[in-house]
Amino acid sequence: MQIKPGLPWKELPLGGVIDVPGSSVEFHTGDWRSSRPVIDLNKCTGCMLCWLNCPDNAIKIKNGKVEIDYDHCKGCGLCASVCPVKAISMRREALEEEERHGSKHKP
Amino acid sequence: MNIKQLAEKIGNNSWFAPGHRLCAGCNAGIIAKFVLNFAQFKGYKVITVLATGCLEVATTIFPYTSWKTAYMHNAFENAAATASGIGAALKSLKKKGLLKEDYKIVVFGGDGGTYDIGLQSLSGALERKHEFVYICYDNEAYMNTGIQRSSATPMLASTTTTPSGKVSKGKQQPRKDLIAIAAAHDVYAAQTSVSHLQDFWKKLEKAFNDQPAVLNVLSPCTRGWYFPPDQGIKIAKLAVETNYWPLYEVDHGRWILNYEPKQRKPIIEWLKTQGRFKHLLQPTQENEKLIAQLQEMVDKRFEYIKKLARATSE
Amino acid sequence: MKHEKPLPATGALAAATAMKQAKPDVVAAYPITPQTPIIEAFSKFVANGDVNTELILVESEHSAMSACVGASATGARVMTATAANGLALMSEIVFIAASLRLPIVMNIASRALSGPINIHCDHSDVMLVRDSGWIQVFVENPQEVYDYNLIALKIAENMKIPAMVIQDGFITSHCLEPVRFLPQQVVDNFLGVYNPGNHSLLNPITFGPLDLYDYYFEHKRQQLQALEDSKQVIKQVLKEYNNLAGTNYNIFETYKLEDAELGVVVAGSTAGTLKHVVNVLRDKGVKAGLLKLGFFRPFFQEELKQALKHLKAIAILDRSASFGAFGSAFYNEIKSALYDLPGEKPKVLGYIYGLGGRDFLIQHGFEIFNELQKIATGAEPVFRVRCIGVREG
C-alpha cells in the first residue's frame, strides 16, 4: 500500500509494517548535495567500480556505462575517489547553479 | 567476483534501494548493498534482520524502506536471537509443508549491537547453530547515538564519551577481539574490509555455505572518524596496509591470514587521516611514546594472527 | 463435546499439555522458577515426538521473547512461558511483540519481582507489563490454565494481539488437580492453523521501521483500537469454547454476586479461598458475593460496572504493590469504572495481600467482609487501602 502523507490511523498497514519494498526511492536525497559528480563518458571504461561502491545506489547503468541518479546522489564523492581512470570529477553545486542561471547567485 | 557480470545481473534493480538517509559517504551503505547484491547474484531468497543502529534507522524511516527483501528489526541487542526465531519458524513451516522455498537469513549489526549489547544474543545463537550470516559493520563506536565509545573503539581514539582532554588521550583500553570470540563457537568467522570487496566476496561465499557465520567488516565513518566523505574507502584500505585491520579468517579453528602487505605502512599514516586521532599528532614526547605503543600493539597483533595461522595450518 | 477422563495435572503440566495440543511451530523459552516445569514438561513432549515443535532453548528470557517475535513475524504459531525477573528482563520485547501485532501466547507462573529476590507468587511481574498491549487473563486453577491457553491462542491469532495466561506461581503451577483435557481432534478443529495473511516475512515487507512523530501516534491509536475490538472477539471465542467443552466461562466469574450486598473482587487462586468464605458467610445469612477477574486486558469496564453496581460495599484485592500510588492496579481501575455510576455508588476498600507468596488465609477473608459490613451500614471507613496479612507491629 502506497502511503500518502497524512493518512489517518485506520488506513495504515497493521503493526507499523511497510509493505512497499524499496519505497525509499520516493524520498529524494539529492538536495543534500553540495558537490555533484560529473562523468566524462569519453574516459569511462565501464569498469563499474563506482556503481559497486556508491553507498546510495545512485549510479545507474546505461549502455554498459554509468550515469548519476541526481535525485538520490548525496555528492559524497566516493565514486570519484574509486574511479581508476579519473573519469569522475566533483563540481560544486553553487558553481553549477551559477552557470545555469548565469548569475552570481549562491544558494 | 566479476564486477561486470555482477553489474549485468543486478543492473539498476538492486535489493537495496536509494533514498535512504545514511550520511553522504557512509560505508555501511556500501556494505549492505554489496551483501544484498551477492545474495541477489546467487539467486537466494533473503530475510534481512537488523539490530538497531545507523543502518537500521536510516533505511527504514516510515513509510519509506530501502529494503526489497523481507526485513525485520526487533531491537538493539537481539538481532541474532530474532534471527534464531525466524530460522526456527522457517524450519517448522517447511516440515509442515506450508513453505516450499529455501531462505537465507542475513543479519546486520553495528559494533555496538554486536560487540557490546548484542554479544550475549549472538553467542547464544552461534552456540545453538542457527543458520544465518551475521555481518558486523564495524565503525568502531556508537555512531547512531553520536560517536560514543564502544568496545570496538581503538585505543586512544577520541569519542564523545572518551574525549581527548588535558589529562586523557582518548579511549584508554584496546579494542575487543570479536573474531576470536565468534571463532570460539566453532564456526566460520572472518574479518574483511569495505575497501577489499574481492576478499569480502570470497568470505561471503564461505559464510553462506557454512552457517552460522560471522563477518566483521571495517566500515569507516565520516562523522565519527572525522574525515571528508569521499575518503572512506581509502582510509579502510590504509587500515589494511598498516596491518591495523588484518584480513583473516578462522574456519572452525583454523586461522588463515588472507593478506600480508609487502611493506606494512607505519600506523601514523593511518592515524593522520582521521580527526579522532588529531590529539596524537602534535610532536610531543608523550605522543611519540603513545604512537610507538600503538605501533607495537598493531605489530604484535599481526604476528599473533600469523602465529595462530602457522600453528593451526594443516 | 465430552471431555476425556480427568487426569491429575499441575498448572504447569496443564499449560504444557495445552501447548502440545496447540502444536506451536516454535517455542523459545528459558528456565525460571516457578515456570520451569512448564518448559520441562513441554521439552519432554518434544523429546518423545509427541509434538513437532522447533524448541529453541535460548540463553536468556530477552532472547526467548526476541526469538518468539522473529518466529511469529515469519507467520508461525508461537508460544512461550516465563515468570517474574524473566518477564522483567524480556519486557522491552514484550512491548515490541504487541506493537508489531504478533499473536504470541505466553504462560506466566506469576511470581514476585526482585528485590529482595523471592521465588513465590504475587502479581507484580504481570503488572509491570499490564500496559504493554498484550491480552492478560488471570486463571484460578489447572483446569482453567488448560482451557484458557486454547482460548487465548484463538483470540490472539484472530486479533493479532499477543496474550498472556497468568497462573499463580507454585500455588497453581505446582498444585495437582484433576484436569479434563479435550481430544486432540477437537483442539485441532477449534484452533485451526494460524494464517498470518500478508503479515509475515514470507512477503517482502519491512517489520519494525523507525516510526517518528508523524506516524507513531497513529500506530498506537491502532493498537488502542485493537484491544478495544478484542472484547467482542473474546466473548465470541468464550462462547464457542463453552459450547465445545461444556465449560461456562465468561470475561469474569461471578459467585453468589447477583443478590449480594457485600462483594470482593480478586484474581487468581485466592478466589478459591474467598469462595469458601462467601459460602460460610451465606450460611450465616450475610449477603456476600465474589467477582473473580478473568481478563484484565482488555479491561471490561462497562461489564464490571454493571456486575458490581448493586453492591453496598466492595473490597478490591491486589496481589501487587504500586509504590507511591493510591492503591494498586485492580483497585484503581475498577474503582474508576464505578465512578460513572449514577446516584449512590458502592463504597470501595482496597487490600494489598499475598506479596512474595504470603498466604492469604480464610481469616483474612472474614476480616475483609467484616470491614465491608461496617462501611455498608454507614460507618466511615478508617482507611481506603491497606495491606492485609502483613505484620504491622
Please compute Rg for chain A using Cα positions: 18
At residue A96, the pLDDT reads 76
Contact residues on chain C for B127, CB-CB shorter than 8 A: 59
On whether both C158 and C261 belong to a single domain, the answer is no
Contact between chains at C219 and A15 (C-beta distance less than 8 A): yes
As for how many domains chain A has, the answer is 1
pLDDT digits (tens, 9 = 90+) for C62-115: 999 999 999 999 999 999 999 999 999 999 999 999 999 999 999 999 999 999
The CA distance from B158 to the nearest CA of chain C, in Å, is 29
Contact between chains at B89 and C58 (C-beta distance less than 8 A): no
Point out the residue among A8, A12, A17 whose CB comes nearest to the CB of C206: A17
Point out the residue among B24, B66, B234 whose CB comes nearest to the CB of A22: B66
The CA distance from A77 to the nearest CA of chain C, in Å, is 28
The answer to whether B121 contacts chain C (CB < 8 Å) is: yes
Contact between chains at B234 and A81 (C-beta distance less than 8 A): yes
Domain with A93 in it: what CATH number? 3.30.70.20
- Asked if residue C393 belongs to a domain, the reply is no
Contact between chains at B19 and A24 (C-beta distance less than 8 A): yes
CA nearest C198 in B: which residue? B70
On whether both C205 and C338 belong to a single domain, the answer is no
- Asked if residue C27 belongs to a domain, the reply is yes
Enclosing domain of residue C14:
7-245
Burial call A49-61: b when 16+ CB within 10 Å, e when fewer: bbbbbbbbbbbbb
- Asked if residue C228 belongs to a domain, the reply is yes
**Main-chain dihedrals φ then ψ at residue C333, nearest 5 degrees:** -75, -40
Contact between chains at A18 and C219 (C-beta distance less than 8 A): no
The CA distance from C206 to the nearest CA of chain B, in Å, is 5
Contact between chains at A15 and C99 (C-beta distance less than 8 A): yes
As for how many domains chain C has, the answer is 2
CA nearest A64 in B: which residue? B8
Contact between chains at A18 and B64 (C-beta distance less than 8 A): yes
Enclosing domain of residue B181:
3-312
What percent of chain B has a predicted confidence (pLDDT) above 90?
A: 100
Contact between chains at A76 and B24 (C-beta distance less than 8 A): yes
- Asked if residue A25 belongs to a domain, the reply is no
Interface of A with B (CB under 8 A): 3, 16, 18, 20-29, 32-33, 46-49, 51-58, 60-61, 69, 71-72, 74-78, 80-82, 90
Contact between chains at C63 and B120 (C-beta distance less than 8 A): yes
- Asked if residue A56 belongs to a domain, the reply is yes
On whether both C143 and C205 belong to a single domain, the answer is yes
Contact between chains at C218 and A7 (C-beta distance less than 8 A): yes
At residue A4, the pLDDT reads 77
B109 with B134: CB under 8 angstroms? yes
What percent of chain C has a predicted confidence (pLDDT) above 90?
A: 98
Q: Cα C230–C233–C238 angle (5° rounding)? A: 125
Contact between chains at C203 and A12 (C-beta distance less than 8 A): no
Point out the residue among B14, B28, B233 whose CB comes nearest to the CB of A78: B233
How many Å apart are CA C351 and CA C329, to the nearest integer?
11
How many Å apart are CA C202 and CA C222, to the nearest integer?
23
Judged against a pLDDT cut of 90, whether residue A94 lies above it is answered with no
State the chains in contact with A (3 or more Cβ–Cβ pairs under 8 Å): B, C
User: To probe the interface with C, which of B82, B95, B185 has the most C CB atoms within 10 Å?
Assistant: B82
Judged against a pLDDT cut of 70, whether residue A103 lies above it is answered with no
Domain with C90 in it: what CATH number? 3.40.50.970
Contact residues on chain B for A3, CB-CB shorter than 8 A: 62-63
On whether both C57 and C203 belong to a single domain, the answer is yes
Q: Number of A:B CB contacts under 8 A?
A: 124
Contact residues on chain B for C53, CB-CB shorter than 8 A: 92
Mean pLDDT, residues C233-251 taken together? 98
The answer to whether C102 contacts chain A (CB < 8 Å) is: yes
- Non-local CB neighbours of C228 within 8 Å, separated by 6+ positions: C298
How many Å apart are CA C325 and CA C310, to the nearest integer?
27
Judged against a pLDDT cut of 70, whether residue C4 lies above it is answered with no
- Asked if residue A71 belongs to a domain, the reply is yes
The answer to whether C240 contacts chain B (CB < 8 Å) is: no
Residue C352, helix vs strand vs coil: strand
- Asked if residue A43 belongs to a domain, the reply is yes
Question: Amino acid letter at C88?
Answer: A
SS3 content of chain A, % helix, strand, coil (to 5): 30, 20, 50
- Asked if residue A45 belongs to a domain, the reply is yes
Whole-model pTM above 0.80?
yes
At residue B266, the pLDDT reads 98
User: To probe the interface with C, which of B45, B52, B90 has the most C CB atoms within 10 Å?
Assistant: B90
The CA distance from A16 to the nearest CA of chain B, in Å, is 8
On whether both C124 and C207 belong to a single domain, the answer is yes
- Asked if residue C297 belongs to a domain, the reply is yes
Interface of B with A (CB under 8 A): 3-4, 6-7, 11-12, 14-30, 33-34, 59-69, 197, 222, 228-234
The CA distance from C1 to the nearest CA of chain A, in Å, is 36
Among candidates C144, C148, C124, C147, which has minimal Cα distance to C135? C148
Q: How confident is the model at residue A107 (pLDDT cuts 50, 70, 90)?
A: very low
As for how many domains chain B has, the answer is 1
- Non-local CB neighbours of C43 within 8 Å, separated by 6+ positions: C55, C57
Tens-digit pLDDT string for chain B (314 aa): 999 999 999 999 999 999 999 999 999 999 999 999 999 999 999 999 999 999 999 999 999 999 999 999 999 999 999 999 999 999 999 999 999 999 999 999 999 999 999 999 999 999 999 999 999 999 999 999 999 999 999 999 999 999 999 999 999 999 999 999 999 999 999 999 999 999 999 999 999 999 999 999 999 999 999 999 999 999 999 999 999 999 999 999 999 999 999 999 999 999 999 999 999 999 999 999 999 999 999 999 999 999 999 999 97
How many Å apart are CA C313 and CA C315, to the nearest integer?
7
On whether both C115 and C262 belong to a single domain, the answer is no
At residue A104, the pLDDT reads 55
The answer to whether A38 contacts chain C (CB < 8 Å) is: no
pLDDT digits (tens, 9 = 90+) for B216-270: 999 999 999 999 999 999 999 999 999 999 999 999 999 999 999 999 999 999 9
User: Where are the alpha helices (H) located in chain C, listed in sequence order?
Assistant: 11-22, 36-47, 61-73, 84-99, 124-128, 142-159, 184-191, 216-245, 270-283, 301-308, 329-339, 362-376
Enclosing domain of residue A101:
35-107
Domain with B14 in it: what CATH number? 3.40.50.970
C175 with C273: CB under 8 angstroms? no
- Asked if residue A7 belongs to a domain, the reply is no
The answer to whether C201 contacts chain B (CB < 8 Å) is: yes
Point out the residue among A26, A75, A78 whose CB comes nearest to the CB of B232: A78
Mean per-residue pLDDT over chain B, rounded: 97
What percent of chain C has a predicted confidence (pLDDT) above 70?
A: 99
How many Å apart are CA C236 and CA C224, to the nearest integer?
20
Point out the residue among B22, B67, B230 whose CB comes nearest to the CB of A81: B230
At residue C261, the pLDDT reads 98
Contact residues on chain B for A76, CB-CB shorter than 8 A: 24-26, 222, 229-230
Contact between chains at C208 and A16 (C-beta distance less than 8 A): yes
CA nearest C199 in A: which residue? A14
